[in-house]
């Protein structure tokens, strides 16, 4: 998955996407370090009726697994959520009193994180209401507690109990020290041994053992798997998922019918071979306009990496945006032949990759409310090798991020010149999208190694240099008249907006994501710093890029866009040479000289200016809802409705899509 940092880096707006309700606010709730946005589903209305109905059924299936994720994250999550919801909806006291307000915030955080631990840091939330108030309120409003009162309160108020959902500290027993509900009564060593005994190292198509089960001990102390399938653990929710998948199957066309069949069969049996068969069918389907993910998919939540959390997305192809990547792909050879690198390092025959751009219609489980902006599946290595993978970017989610960032004061604070801000407003999103397209579809795939070079020579510097190479390819071509000629951009102002943003981010604003006293570690961030700092230094005498101080604040401005483009080309020449020749020493020097060290004074200034803007670092979404329109027993249309209230949607989901017992 690819998660967006857009609110913290470039905050661009604009773009050509047609939207349905531009005037409604994009940010609909904010609490703690979270803001909740809405997203729109442009062009849903124009889909054929059969696809709309398919989306409706798949969306219902996407919502039915919500409780599974709550329970996977922590075994008492449902007990706490349901208890708090009961208080919240029946409370008759003063709703402006500090304790109640604090409990409301705590409940919102639980809804957002699908549990009592932070969705990103994994640390348990701290309750800001008093235990005394809570115990009294419990007595008054909750007749039957799902677990002992003392335990319930200890979980909420004792910071040391179940402190982390996912503890991967070196040297600790990660299984017993993590609060997630994938293991019970077993140690890390027992988990390792259990699965080591199952794996067949000679199997060319290895099964993802452990992916869909909880590992625990039975009454006799024997280690057993409790498998998540129809009739097994989480059966009540899975039954609902299967019900809606069968409905979806009834309106789907081939090859999707067979794909849904395989998935249903997997949910019925829990057989992981069947899950692989489903994935092979799914990844091979490139023709269906509507597509979906539904199942136990990503293993980030398991300290051992065996167990997968439940998630779902429903989406359809954004044909206008795919047109863009298609044009780029079709002209891949022209870009390669004109690349500003040593001709001997150009690929003689280049094949562009056509990444799909999609519009998401529904998000569920681990994709909600915090949402990825891109998905690359399936995860099984052998399937990726033999059948490939599907890579998609979710356009309506990035669009909403950009819209929500509009007016947050970011560009006004960090971008000095009015003309740059205006261009970013107009072309920022298009520039971002094209940068991503060129980077992904062509950049990584371009160039070739010299004879005798294997590609492993650059060692720990390889990923930074590889990202730099793809970024430079994108930046260089963004400023090429060829893009205007191909109809991809209206003018080179798109490049200017991207160049100004890129340099500002690389030299300055991305520092907001680094803790004081630390250097740049992450390879994408290193790559941006490398490119920006190198171009600054190379163009210093001619003032291509310049530091300007106004009212005691520092700004970075690009004075000469043409000269900057030439510098991008020059650096691409060198980075390609380093890769093609495997020149470790030159690569190491580039990275160490330009990409790593942070100026502590500048860093402090950026952090201070960010803090004053009050931009929350994490965001997520509410979903739209869909409604069948029937006439004389026939479905004649599906209507989409937008929700503008996070609390309402959470309470509705807890009421209508809650199928599991409190303890599983
Ligand atoms: Zn990349």
pLDDT digits (tens, 9 = 90+) for 325-356: 889 888 999 999 999 999 999 988 876 666 68
Q: Is the pLDDT reported for residue 616 higher than 90?
A: no
Looking at residue 21, what is its pLDDT?
A: 66
Give the Å distance between the CA of 464 and the centre of ligand 1. 9
Neighbours of 542 (CB within 10 A): 12
Strands 223-227 and 390-394: unpaired
Q: Is the pLDDT reported for residue 11 higher than 60?
A: no
Lowest mean pLDDT among 53-62, 370-379, 384-393: 384-393
Give the Å distance between the CA of 439 and the centre of ligand 1. 6
Give the Å distance between the CA of 584 and the centre of ligand 1. 20
Give the Å distance between the CA of 523 and the centre of ligand 1. 10
Give the Å distance between the CA of 463 and the centre of ligand 1. 9
Q: Which residue has the higher pLDDT, 595 or 436?
A: 595
> If you average pLDDT over residues 518-547, what whole number do you get?
94
> If you average pLDDT over residues 320-327, what whole number do you get?
82
pLDDT bracket for residue 19 (50, 70, 90): very low
> If you average pLDDT over residues 545-556, what whole number do you get?
97
Strands 618-622 and 34-38: parallel
Give the Å distance between the CA of 93 and the centre of ligand 1. 54
> If you average pLDDT over residues 589-601, what whole number do you get?
96
Give the Å distance between the CA of 357 and the centre of ligand 1. 17
Lowest mean pLDDT among 2-6, 76-80, 280-284: 2-6
Structure token digits, residue 241 = 């998922």
Give the Å distance between the CA of 558 and the centre of ligand 1. 24
Give the Å distance between the CA of 522 and the centre of ligand 1. 13
> If you average pLDDT over residues 491-506, what whole number do you get?
97
Give the Å distance between the CA of 639 and the centre of ligand 1. 38
Give the Å distance between the CA of 471 and the centre of ligand 1. 7
Give the Å distance between the CA of 12 and the centre of ligand 1. 20
Do 279 and 266 contact (CB within 8 A), yes or no? no
The pTM score is 0.81
Buried b (16+ CB within 10 A) or exposed e, 7-42: bbbbbbbbbebebeeeeeebbbbebeebbbbbbbbb
CA distances from 52 to 142, 175, 396 (A): 42, 43, 17
Give the Å distance between the CA of 580 and the centre of ligand 1. 17
Calpha distance 348→333 (Å, rounded) = 8
Angle at 595 between CA 593 and CA 599, to 5 degrees: 85
Looking at residue 22, what is its pLDDT?
A: 64
Do 301 and 277 contact (CB within 8 A), yes or no? no
pLDDT bracket for residue 20 (50, 70, 90): low
> Taking phi first (over 0 means left), then psi (-120 to 50 degrees means alpha), and beta for anything else, what does residue 244 get?
alpha
Give the Å distance between the CA of 299 and the centre of ligand 1. 22
Q: Is the pLDDT reported for residue 481 higher than 90?
A: yes
pLDDT tens digits for 69-87? 999 999 999 999 999 999 9
Q: Tell me what percent of the residues of the chain surpass a pLDDT of 90.
A: 74
From the list 518, 502, 535, 500, the residue with the least C-alpha distance to 599 is 518
Looking at residue 554, what is its pLDDT?
A: 98
Give the Å distance between the CA of 431 and the centre of ligand 1. 16
> If you average pLDDT over residues 243-261, what whole number do you get?
98
Give the Å distance between the CA of 280 and the centre of ligand 1. 25
Within a 13 Å sphere around the CA of 306, how many CA atoms are in the beta-carbon half?
26
pLDDT bracket for residue 248 (50, 70, 90): very high
Give the Å distance between the CA of 428 and the centre of ligand 1. 20
Lowest mean pLDDT among 14-23, 100-109, 644-653: 14-23
Looking at residue 353, what is its pLDDT?
A: 66
> If you average pLDDT over residues 230-247, what whole number do you get?
98
> If you average pLDDT over residues 185-190, what whole number do you get?
97
Q: Is the pLDDT reported for residue 252 higher than 50?
A: yes
Question: What DSSP element (H or E) covers 619?
Answer: strand 618-622
Q: Tell me what percent of the residues of the chain surpass a pLDDT of 70.
A: 96
Looking at residue 615, what is its pLDDT?
A: 81
Looking at residue 8, what is its pLDDT?
A: 30
Looking at residue 351, what is its pLDDT?
A: 67
Lowest mean pLDDT among 18-32, 271-285, 350-364: 18-32
H and E: helices and strands count for the chain: 25, 15
pLDDT tens digits for 108-138? 999 999 999 999 889 999 999 999 999 999 9
Give the Å distance between the CA of 227 and the centre of ligand 1. 37
Q: Which residue has the higher pLDDT, 494 or 119?
A: 494
Q: Is the pLDDT reported for residue 15 higher than 50?
A: no
> Taking phi first (over 0 means left), then psi (-120 to 50 degrees means alpha), and beta for anything else, what does residue 43 get?
left
Q: Is the pLDDT reported for residue 292 higher than 90?
A: yes
pLDDT bracket for residue 16 (50, 70, 90): very low
Q: Is the pLDDT reported for residue 551 higher than 70?
A: yes
Looking at residue 12, what is its pLDDT?
A: 30
Q: Is the pLDDT reported for residue 516 higher than 70?
A: yes
Give the Å distance between the CA of 133 and the centre of ligand 1. 51
């Amino acid at each position: 998955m690819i998660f967006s940092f857009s609110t913290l880096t470039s905050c661009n707006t604009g773009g050509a996407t047609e939207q349905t309700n531009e005037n409604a606010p994009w940010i609909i709730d904010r609490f703690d370090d979270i803001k909740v946005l809405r997203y729109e589903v442009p062009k849903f209305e124009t889909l054929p009726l059969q696809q709309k109905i398919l989306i409706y059924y798949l969306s219902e299936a996407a919502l039915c697994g919500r409780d599974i994720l709550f329970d996977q994250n922590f075994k008492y999550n449902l007990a706490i959520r349901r208890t708090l919801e009961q208080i919240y909806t029946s409370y008759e006291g003063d709703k402006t009193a500090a304790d109640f307000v604090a409990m409301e915030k705590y409940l919102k955080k639980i809804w957002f994180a699908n549990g009592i631990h932070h969705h990103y840091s994994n640390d348990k939330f701290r309750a800001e209401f008093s235990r005394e108030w809570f115990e009294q309120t419990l007595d008054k409003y909750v007749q039957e507690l799902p677990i002992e009162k003392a335990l319930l309160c200890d979980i909420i108020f004792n910071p040391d109990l179940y402190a982390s959902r996912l503890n991967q500290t070196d040297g600790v027993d990660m299984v017993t020290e993590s609060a997630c509900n994938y293991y019970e009564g077993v140690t890390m060593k027992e988990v390792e041994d259990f699965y080591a005994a199952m794996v067949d190292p000679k199997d060319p198509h290895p099964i993802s053992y452990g992916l869909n089960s909880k590992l625990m001990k039975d009454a006799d102390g024997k280690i057993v798997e409790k498998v998540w399938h129809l009739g097994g653990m989480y059966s009540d929710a899975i039954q609902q998922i299967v019900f809606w998948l069968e409905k979806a199957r009834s309106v789907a066309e081939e090859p999707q019918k067979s794909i849904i069949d395989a998935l249903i069969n997997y949910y019925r049996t829990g057989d992981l071979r069947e899950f692989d068969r489903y994935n092979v069918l799914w990844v091979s389907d490139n023709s269906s306009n509507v597509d979906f993910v539904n199942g136990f998919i990503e293993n980030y939540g398991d300290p051992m990496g065996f167990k997968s959390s439940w998630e779902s997305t429903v989406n359809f192809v954004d044909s206008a945006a795919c047109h863009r990547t298609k044009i780029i792909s079709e002209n891949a050879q022209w870009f390669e032949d004109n690349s500003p690198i040593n001709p001997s390092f150009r690929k003689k025959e280049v094949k562009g990759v056509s990444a799909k751009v999609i519009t998401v219609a529904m998000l569920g489980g681990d994709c909600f409310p915090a949402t990825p902006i891109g998905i690359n599946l399936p995860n099984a290595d052998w399937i990726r090798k033999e059948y490939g993978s599907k890579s998609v970017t979710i356009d309506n989610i990035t669009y909403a991020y950009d819209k929500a960032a509009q007016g947050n004061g970011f560009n006004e604070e960090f971008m000095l010149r009015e003309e740059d801000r205006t261009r970013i407003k107009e072309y920022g999103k298009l520039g971002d999208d094209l940068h991503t397209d060129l980077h992904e579809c062509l950049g990584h795939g371009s160039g070739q190694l010299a004879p005798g070079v294997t590609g492993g020579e650059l060692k720990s510097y390889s990923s930074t240099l590889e990202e730099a190479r793809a970024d430079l390819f994108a930046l260089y071509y963004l400023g090429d008249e060829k893009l205007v000629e191909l109809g991809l951009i209206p003018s080179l102002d798109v490049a200017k907006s991207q160049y100004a943003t890129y340099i500002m981010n690389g030299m300055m604003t991305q520092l907001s994501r680094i803790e004081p006293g630390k250097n740049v570690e992450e390879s994408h961030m290193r790559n941006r710093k490398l490119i920006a700092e190198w171009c600054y230094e190379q163009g210093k005498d001619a003032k291509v890029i310049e530091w300007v101080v106004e009212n005691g604040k520092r700004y970075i401005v690009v004075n000469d866009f043409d000269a900057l483009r030439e510098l991008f080309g020059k650096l691409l020449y060198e980075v390609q040479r380093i890769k093609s020749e495997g020149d470790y020493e030159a690569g190491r020097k580039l990275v160490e000289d330009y990409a790593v060290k942070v100026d502590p004074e500048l860093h402090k200034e950026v952090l201070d200016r960010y803090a004053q803007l009050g931009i929350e670092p994490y965001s997520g979404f509410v979903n739209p809802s869909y409604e069948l329109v029937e006439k004389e027993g026939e479905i004649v249309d599906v209507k989409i409705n937008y929700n503008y209230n996070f609390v309402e949607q959470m309470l509705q989901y807890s009421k209508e899509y809650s199928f599991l017992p409190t303890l599983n």
